[in-house]
Amino acid sequence: MKRTKLAVFASGSGSNYEAIVKACCEGLINAEVVLLVCDKPGAKVLERAARYGTECFAFNPKEYGSREEYEGVIADMLDERGVEYVCLAGYMRIVGRVLLERYEQRIVNIHPSLLPSFKGAHAIQDAVDYGVKIFGVTTHFVDETLDGGRIIDQGAVVYEGSDIEELTTMIHNIEHKLYVKTINKLINKKY
Ligand code: GRF
């Protein structure tokens, strides 16, 4: 059976990238990651991608005249490789209209909070500061707004401790399973 081609976009550590690739290798998802896009040359995710043999496009946005310009390059790479879905996994950039138009309803993101609460780059810390007891993770379609777009899946973490590292690990563990569930929904068009 034909495997769905995915691209993963990441800027940092890449634990979600690795979880997706492993799930593909283990047959938990009938898909393959054909391209990793990274806007931070030197990011740890690139080491992980080298280990798994995933083709990488690492770029420095400052070397392009505009977001439209680098997104055009990326969109062409996605098309050439027959990518069906783009999974943002810690990609610390707003996706612009070039990619959103070419991959309409085919770009998803994972965010470490129960959206629409705690959007932005410091979601876990913001939730802790607010006194939250039920934390969580959300996967959603990407639109032009920050952490906006229709929700696909959510997972919850009950935590009343005070160790942010422990909490972050718990949240990451949920993320890795949730992304696999969401990608299966995308592949089977059940969302
Ligand atoms: C995750 O917490 C994800 O929800 C957020 O960025 C983080 C990326 O972690 N969008 P990793 O690079 O996949 O380990």
Q: What is the pLDDT along the chain (191 residues), one digit of tens a residue?
A: 799 999 999 999 999 999 999 999 999 999 999 999 999 999 999 999 999 999 999 999 999 999 999 999 999 999 999 999 999 999 999 999 999 999 999 999 999 999 999 999 999 999 999 999 999 999 999 999 999 999 999 999 999 999 999 999 999 999 999 999 999 999 999 88
3-state secondary structure of 29: coil
Which residue lies with its CA nearest to atom 1 of ligand 1? Answer: 90
CA angle (77, 80, 83) in 5-degree steps: 80
List all residues whose CB is within 6 A of at least one atom of ligand 1: 10, 12-16, 89-90, 110-112, 175
pTM attached to this predicted model: 0.97
Total residue length of the chain = 191
Which amino acid is located at 26 in the chain? E
**Nearest atom of ligand 1 to the alpha carbon of 44:** 12
Domain 4-187 has CATH 3.40.50.620: no
